[in-house]
Structure 1
Amino acid sequence: WVMEDGKVKSIDLLALELGFGLPRSRSGWPAPAKDSSILEQLAELSAPFGTKLEISGNRAKVILP
């Protein structure tokens, strides 16, 4: 994260999947997401609050107002 004047200005995120639908032995183990759909959905939900996400692959930088 990046702080400015004692306030958080940005946060770096990595999208993870928990393997739902995989065999029980592999389900529930966090792994990097293969696409950005999780982050795109998060960006949509965050927009009304003035929060912006800069998405690149399965990573995003959250820019706070």
Structure 2
Amino acid sequence: MSVERATIAFAGLMVLLSVALTIWINDNFIWFTVFIGANLLQSAYTQFCPAAIILCKIGFQSEAQLATAEH
């Protein structure tokens, strides 16, 4: 799995988790959802994503790296 796909999967998981926490634990967890959304927006414009950096450090490769490794 590429770092791009892993980042999208991680963001989706975090959104679902934050919604569940908001529903079942405390309404203030909605701010976690807001933070995730804001982070997704800023990363779309700045190409800076802390989650992607961490995923790269633990061994995920980019789509480009995977494409060149296959040839």
Q: Could you tell me the TM-score, scaled by structure 1's length?
A: 0.31
Higher strand share: 1
